[in-house]
Structure 1
Amino acid sequence: MAVTEHSMILFPLRILQFLFALIVAGTIGYGVHWYNQGASNSPASMNFLLFNCAWTFLIILYAILGPIFLSSLADTTHAYAIFAIDVVTMIFWFAGFIALAVFLGDLDFCIGTVCPDLRAGCVFAAFEWVLFVVSSVISGIRAFRARGAAAPKPATQLNTL
């Protein structure tokens, strides 16, 4: 795997994305557990954020390990796949933190430590969205530069008249 300027930027970014997803999974997981202990089920916005965490763990594994083990995909195809996955994940995180913020804003009262934990989870989900905006931009630049580099150059023909 060739070390490029993009991979040197994206690897620490992927580590941050993993850590933030872990924090969100912990805080939202506590909220889901708290709701499931009561008389009602956990809200869909919390369940969706838990899905986002699991999805993020999987795509980070693919983004880091894919070029290493699938060296044939390390060029243009992999760059487009990473770009598409980053954009989809960015949309997921945006929808998730907005849905949770709306849910928390509509609550009339909240009991115990679950509300501050859910608010913290929502804030970290918003930061996760920002991280995926950055990685989407970087991977988009990488994908479209890879497309330009991979395009075959037309053969020039010399006239010998």
Structure 2
Amino acid sequence: MVAFDGRLVVLSLRIAQIVLAIIVLALTAYVANWWGGYWHSMSPSQINFLLFDAVWTLLALIYLTLVPWRFSETIAHHKFAILAVEALTTIFWFAGFVALAVFLSDRVCYGHVCSAAKAAAVFGAFGWVCFAATTAMAVMHVLRTSNRTSRNDKADPNLSVQDGV
């Protein structure tokens, strides 16, 4: 029987999160650029928010991978800080893909830019699923370690993607 390796699962999810963020970044940037060029106005806030989600995710993933790997003995590697970044990013992805899906549902939409916007909403939903999974893992770690008598507030090493914690 194969043993469960939490680090491999987290690494796989982190790679998926990076790839999905880059895809959503490219799609929403294309839609926002088209909107500004064609309509000569600001792109819709739903597109802008999903674009923000992708940029935020890339910054959050830098924190979520770099801090446990290089700064594991600092206050930045606190289990509640990890949980807060995970949860906030999950909420952002949920709000972003739902807002864009609702925006697109009552519009007459056709062409490449419409397909790109719809694809951004779908990939945003997949991004939300990935972050919901890592947030659930972070919540389980916090709940599992909340009754310990020692004052160890470090994040779970299995939530890290490096090999030797």
Regarding TM over 0.5, the answer is yes
Structure 2 counterpart of 1:70, which letter? F
The reply to whether residue 43 of structure 1 matches residue 44 of structure 2 is: yes
Residues 108-161 of structure 1 deviation map (CA, whole Å, 9 limit, x = unaligned): x23431011111110000111111110100111123334445626xxxxxxxxx
Quote the Cα distance in structure 2 between the aligned partners of 1:118 and 1:150: 50
C-alpha deviation, 1:71, in angstroms: 2.0
Relative to structure 1, the CA distance from residue 7 to residue 143 in structure 2 (aligned partners, 3 Å threshold; closer, same or farther) is: farther
Q: Which ranges of structure 2 fall in alignment gaps of 5 or more residues?
A: 152-165
How far did 1:74 drift?
8.0
For 1:14, the equivalent position in structure 2 comes to 14
Q: Which amino acid aligns with 2:15?
A: I
Distance between the aligned counterparts of 2:110 and 2:101, measured in 1? 17
Q: Which residue of 1 aligns with 2:56?
A: 55
Task: Indicate conservation of the 8 Å contact 1:79/1:146, yes or no.
Answer: no
The TM-score, its normalising length taken from structure 1, stands at 0.82
Contact 1:66 1:74 in 2 (8 A): no
Answer yes or no: is the 8 Å Cα contact 1:67–1:78 preserved in 2: no
The equivalent of 2:32 in structure 1 is 32
How many angstroms apart in 1 are the aligned matches of 2:44 and 2:14?
28
Pick closer, same or farther for the CA change 1:6–1:83 going to 2, 3 Å. farther
Aligned AA for 1:137? A
Report the AA paired with residue 38 of structure 2: G
**8 Å CA contact 1:25, 1:50 repeated in 2:** yes
After superposition, give the CA deviation of every residue in 1:40-79 in whole Å (9 maximum; x if it has no partner): 320001101111101100111111110122121389x522
Q: What SS class does the counterpart of residue 15 from structure 1 fall into?
A: helix
Q: Which residue of 2 aligns with 1:114?
A: 113
Aligned position for 1:93:
93
Normalized per residue, the structure richer in helix is 1
1:71 partner SS: coil
RMSD: 2.1
Larger Rg computed on CA atoms: 1
